[in-house]
A and B are shown apart, each in its own frame.
Chain A
């Protein structure tokens, strides 16, 4: 059930209605039922996975939580009685038991994710090596379907279990509440990857119908549909034409394609998240934002703090920091400083952690070398610009450009182009092809391609371009207004007539200009045989 399907809209209307009609204490159970129904639409066979993750994380969470409680109690009671060494020893043993439980839970759940997502990728790599070695043997691929939302719910659950391990909060004692946290339907497909302490604040509460929340949520949902249906799904045709025909479309077209893809991805992803957050808001549930106008970033590192924020912070909190401050890593750093000198020694831990994190981020996005390369390229660019910081500082002070509008615009455009170019990995069939296409932008760039009418052969008509252009203007304008705070808050203070006009324009333009349904094509109606 896609967000943009009729069945989802009907499903959602029923949930909204029921949610505020039933007794309030039944609100979160209703969401659990709804989430499981939503999940069931994807296929009953996937239930095993999500239920297994839910139960295992729930039980281990309780276990670790109890251990932590006992530990704190023991430490408190024996403070002053036992010596510091004894206390430390106790802590270490107790922590290692907790750690074993955590490890078990992570191995199990990341194991499920790994097997379902990466088995066939691993097999294809083994086959490649076998072939290189001259072996005639090839392994067969397994027929494993990827359970819906597994990357997201696994990360949510594992974030939870690590937090419980760290004693950040107590484990959830109600398994149904925990099941709802794992499966909450608006965010199961594409996030955001909420943290338990964040989400549980409003998820299990009783909510009164609130007209402002409803208004804001609905507008957010419509805004999401607008981005997704009017823009993303429309430009999709053009993107596909270019990237699926790399022999025909090179040079200038690769450039156009990468810009189109930047536009599509932004509209699609942020639109989907708008729908998610909007739905939650109508239900009175607060979800952390996942984007902060990322295309206004001045460099890649900043971009990654503003794009898919919940994923970035997940990797930072649960992967980057733990490896960076892992004792052996720190010792290695000390060793490296002694051996290679201060400047290299200081960098090594950061570099190693960064590479691991970006490799993982890459493969998390998809089981292919393209994504791995994509992640590593991001890492490379970030590290290079980190190294260039002194140069930038010198440049900024020398030319006094730092806060000049033009220079800032240049930085923004540079970041967009750079990110779009890196994303080519995401577009083309394999890594060599990506490099070839990237190269063709420099060797084979014909400006005339852009003006000889070829752009009208990409599956986008002139009218489509107009819509896309107007969409771009609207999106940019809204983003610019957002700098001064919530657009919806400002709108809410305006007269009702203006608010309703916004509703009206959004609804009508989604219905009319949305790229959905059977494309009316009059050629279909050509009366040929009967």
Chain B
């Protein structure tokens, strides 16, 4: 989780990612951010997020995103 927050804060230093719950809905993250994020996650966690998982529910908060990473690394 720490690693993830670090990646996120790198993208937008001004956002408090621990509490934000609508990163997509409020357009904090745009498509460029998401792609950069996925590339970072790929290199840090060795988890590839497939295109079909790129839906608002998975990216709206750091918590949701972390859950997704856990779920995907499960396989």
Q: Least Cβ distance of B43 to chain A in Å?
A: 6
Count of B interface residues, CB-CB < 8 Å: 18
Q: Which of B27, B35, B75 contacts A321 (CB 8 A)?
A: B35
In the bound complex, residues from chain A placing their C-beta under 8 Å from that of B65 are none
Bound together, the chains give a CA A420 to CA B30 distance in angstroms of 24
Q: Are B43 and A334 within 8 A (Cβ)?
A: yes
Q: Which residue of A lies closest to B52 (CB)?
A: A166
Given A301-B30, A316-B31, A350-B32: A321 touches B51 (CB 8 Å cut-off) = yes
- Known contacts A325-B54, A330-B42, A349-B39; 9 further A-B pairs (Cβ under 8 A): A168-B52, A316-B31, A325-B35, A325-B50, A330-B39, A330-B48, A333-B42, A337-B43, A353-B35
The 26 listed contacts between A and B (C-beta, < 8 Å) are: A84-B75, A88-B75, A166-B52, A167-B52, A168-B52, A316-B31, A317-B54, A318-B51, A320-B31, A320-B35, A321-B34, A321-B35, A324-B35, A324-B39, A325-B35, A325-B38, A325-B42, A325-B54, A330-B38, A330-B39, A330-B43, A334-B42, A346-B39, A350-B32, A350-B36, A386-B32
Binding site for A on B (CB under 8 A): 27, 30-32, 34-36, 38-39, 42-43, 48-52, 54, 75
- Cβ-based interface call for A91 (8 A): yes
In the bound complex, residues from chain B placing their C-beta under 8 Å from that of A349 are 35, 39
- Cβ-based interface call for A87 (8 A): yes
Q: Are A325 and B75 within 8 A (Cβ)?
A: no
* Chain A 319-346: CB-based contact to B (< 8 A → 1; otherwise 0): 0111011010010011001000000001
Given A87-B75, A88-B75, A301-B30: A324 touches B52 (CB 8 Å cut-off) = no
Q: Are B32 and A91 within 8 A (Cβ)?
A: no
Bound together, the chains give a CA A462 to CA B39 distance in angstroms of 58
Q: Which residue of A lies closest to B30 (CB)?
A: A301
Size band of the A side of the interface? 20 to 34
Q: Least Cβ distance of A350 to chain B in Å?
A: 5
Q: Least Cβ distance of B15 to chain A in Å?
A: 13
Q: Are B36 and A325 within 8 A (Cβ)?
A: no
Q: Least Cβ distance of B65 to chain A in Å?
A: 14
Bound together, the chains give a CA A369 to CA B48 distance in angstroms of 36
Bound together, the chains give a CA A320 to CA B38 distance in angstroms of 13
Q: Are A350 and B52 within 8 A (Cβ)?
A: no
Q: Are A346 and B51 within 8 A (Cβ)?
A: no
Bound together, the chains give a CA A88 to CA B75 distance in angstroms of 7
Bound together, the chains give a CA A349 to CA B31 distance in angstroms of 12
Q: Which residue of B lies closest to A95 (CB)?
A: B50
In the bound complex, residues from chain A placing their C-beta under 8 Å from that of B38 are 324-325, 330
